[in-house]
Structure 1
Amino acid sequence: MIVNERETEEGLLVAVCDADVLGETFESGDLSLTVTEEFYGGETVDESAVVDSLSRATVANIVGTRAVELAVEEGFIDEANVLEVGATRHAQLLRMY
């Protein structure tokens, strides 16, 4: 998986995607999702590093079947909040303190 971390005024923004969806566009009805290098490109890491990043995230965008599945398995995302966008899955995390 690929992880990109950015510090923002609001906290840590984490973008996670499966490597095979980077650069792809997915559509479902009026919804279109492009997994851009600019936003999602970053470091290729193992699943434990993804979990570490998500545990520190204030906001996270997660794309890809395995990335979203991992976020659900680890309790970051509720399955009911996962979007199916074409041939992939997408979820967002917002942690409010």
Structure 2
Amino acid sequence: MILNERETDEGLLVAVCDRDALGETYESGEMSLTVTEEFYGGERVDEEAVVESLARANVANIVGTESVELAIEHGFVEEGNVLEVGSTLHAQMLRIA
């Protein structure tokens, strides 16, 4: 998986995607999702690093079947809130304190 962390005024923003999703565009009806290097590009990491990052995140954007399923498995997002966009999955997480 590819992980990008950045500090914002609202806290830690985490972007995670499957390796094969980077640079791809997924479409479903009128919805289009482009997984850009600018936003999602970062370090190649293992599952443990993704889980640790999501645990610290205030906001997260997650793209790809592997990445989203990991987020579901660890309770960061609920399966019912996941979007299918073309051949991939997309989820967003917002932690409200």
**Which runs of no fewer than 5 residues in structure 1 stay unpaired?**
none
Q: State the partner residue of 2:96.
A: 96
Two-structure CA RMSD over aligned residues (Å): 0.2
Provide TM-score, normalisation by structure 1.
1.00
Distance (whole Å) between structure 1 residues aligned to residue 53 and residue 39 of structure 2? 15
Alignment correspondent of 2:13 = 13
Deviation at 1:32, TM superposition (A): 0.2
Q: Quote the residue 1:76 is aligned against.
A: 76
Deviation, 1:69, is 0.2
**5+ long unaligned stretches in structure 2:** none
Percent identity reads 75
Any idea what SS the aligned residue of 1:38 has? helix
TM-score (norm 2): 1.00
Matched residue pairs, number?
97
Alpha-carbon distance in structure 2 between the residues aligned to 1:95 and 1:77: 10
1:41 correspondence with 2:55:
no
After superposition, the C-alpha distances for 1:39-86 in whole angstroms (9 at most, x for unaligned) are 000000000000000000000000000000000000000000000000
Q: Distance in 2 between matches of 1:30 and 1:55?
A: 32
Q: How does 1:45-56 map to 2 (within 5 A)?
A: 45-56=45-56
The 5-angstrom pairing of residues 14-29 of structure 1 reads 14-29=14-29
Aligned to 1:66: 66
1:76 counterpart SS class: coil
The alpha carbon displacement at 1:2 in A equals 0.3
Instruction: For residue 70 of structure 2, give the secondary structure of its aligned residue in structure 1.
Output: helix
User: Structure 1 stretches (4+) deviating beyond 6 angstroms?
Assistant: none
